[in-house]
Chains A and B, each alone.
Chain A
Amino acid sequence: MDCNTALIGPLFLQGIILGSLYALIALGYTMVYGVLKLINFAHDSVFMVGGVAAFYVFGSALGLTEPLTGFALIVALFGVLMVGALASASGATLLERGAYRPLRRRGGARLSFLISAIGASFFATYLFQQDFLLGAGKRQFPNLMETSGAFSAFGSPVNNKDLLIVVAVVICLVALDRVINQTRIGRSIRALSEDVVAAQLMGVNVNRVIVTTFLIGGFFGGVAGALYGVNFANVAWNMGFIPGVKAFTAAVLGGIGNIRGAMVGGILLGLIENMSVVCIGAEWANVVAFSVLPLVLIFRPTGLLGERIGG
């Protein structure tokens, strides 16, 4: 095995950037798991919907083709992320109402939730593949921002898109931490994650907390979807598949149900995947990333930080 040490710096950086996107998506998996003890396998479509909605509004509707600068750029970027966030939050809420709540009301078995989740994911994904929505190919995302170097770190240049991702993710993570640990709704999410019956006996409205959890997870998934569009300059009906499975892996790696675990797991998975390129080769990156899932489940089933939500 010969390692290309010149790649270490740039790939380390790439790992952190990609990893922060995984972390943002992983929050949705881990929060829903916390309150429902259910893996929401449709969260990859929730992510996709955010990217696609931002594409519709800024590409199809506003028809932005030329890169923006200055204040207009900042407004546009904020707009893109908010459109993605709101679209995905709505999508996640619909998903909860349509695919999960009816099962809860009927006291469905654990397996039926899983099957419903997978069904909902395929439904949404293939719906967007239809020509009247997105079509089968990739669609070009409006080039809002000319790529340019911002500064350099770990001996390699950081461009403005990298910086956008890291800044947006950090803001989201700090905001979520605040919400979970310092607000009434955050406290009810933690309570429900720790003990459903005790939460009910404190007067927590379980259905309301569950739908809010989907909404918050969807919001961050949508920000990630829009960031994906800006960074990779395209969106597609199947864009959620790989990032979705990786974010799920990151959530398990950090400890499913554990919010800080999802953050740590995301960054770590981004690093593992990218550093493997240094010695093994780019074509193996996905193999290495996905091997993390069985390895964690075998050797540390509760993940690095353990199953636990909040503070």
Chain B
Amino acid sequence: MPPDNALLELEDMRVHYGAIEAVKGIHLRVEEGEIVALIGGNGAGKTTTLRAISMVHPPAGGSVRFEGNELRGVPSHGVVERGIVQVPEGRRIFPSMSVRENLEMGAFQRRASRKELHDDTRHVFELFPVLEERRKQAGGTLSGGEQQMLAIGRALMARPKVLMLDEPSMGLAPQVVERVFGVIRNINSEGTTVLLVEQNAHMALQTAHRGYVIETGEIVLEDDAKTLLGNDQVRKAYLGEE
């Protein structure tokens, strides 16, 4: 552990798509045990940030440190191996694989034994009983809410140190959103650090300890979640208040 105790730390991270700079040198830190929210409107650079951390679309500049080690240059499967796991935007369930197979894919990099797979699958089924009912069904046939639960369950199968979620509330009914965020709080209280990306600023800031606001690739605000919820700028831009 470095002296400052950050589990995950972005320093001046820049991400490009060809000539376009989508993330323009952001600083962001996530400490062990925290839920950190990254909120911002459509196209602000949230997904790009998570993909860069996962090294699926590696940054062009700056640094990404995890447990004190630089992640740039590490392949995407190495990032998962180190314990950073992502629930991607749009869920990206494997459509033709069954619910159970999707969950087992989550444990892919761990080379888990049969017994471990069994125990972890049970744990996910306890969190989301509906997945057990649907365990033999193809992932592509689930409803949006069920797919989101499956995507979260699949990520948990990797036993992450940091769980990153990209817009878990997208397209879900309000009661389902409540359930999903309840589970995120549970996961956190069981010891998993969470980086939560959302357009739904209200839910995200109510759930998180701290938050960052990103606009066109730059962090424009950073504070305790409660303080951000009371911030005029945030209220106007993201909470739909006058």
Contacts and interface: CB of A to CB of B under 8 A. Distances in A.
Given A187-B101, A202-B109, A197 B96 contact: no
Interface string A193-206: 01101111111111
B97 A204 contact: no
Q: How large is the interface on B (under 10, 10 to 19, 20 to 34, 35 or more residues)?
A: 20 to 34
Given A203-B81, A204-B77, A194 B109 contact: no
B199 interface: no
Where chain A touches its partner, the secondary structure class is helix
Interface in B60-83: 75-77, 80-81
B92 A308 contact: no
Given A191-B94, A197-B88, A311-B96, A202 B56 contact: no
Contacts of B106: 202
Q: How large is the interface on A (under 10, 10 to 19, 20 to 34, 35 or more residues)?
A: 20 to 34
A200 B77 contact: yes
Interface in B83-110: 85-86, 88, 92-97, 101, 104-106, 108-109
A120 B154 CA distance: 40
B200 to A, nearest CB: 22
A199 B109 CA distance: 11
Contact of B97 (A184, A194, A206): A194
Given A197-B56, A198-B88, A187 B77 contact: no
Contacts of A187: 101, 104-105, 108
The 7 closest A-B pairs by CB, nearest first: A203-B109, A203-B80, A198-B92, A200-B76, A203-B77, A205-B77, A202-B108
25 contacts: A184-B108, A187-B101, A188-B108, A190-B96, A191-B97, A191-B105, A191-B108, A194-B95, A194-B97, A195-B94, A197-B88, A197-B92, A198-B92, A198-B93, A198-B94, A200-B54, A202-B80, A202-B154, A202-B158, A203-B77, A203-B108, A203-B158, A204-B77, A205-B77, A308-B96
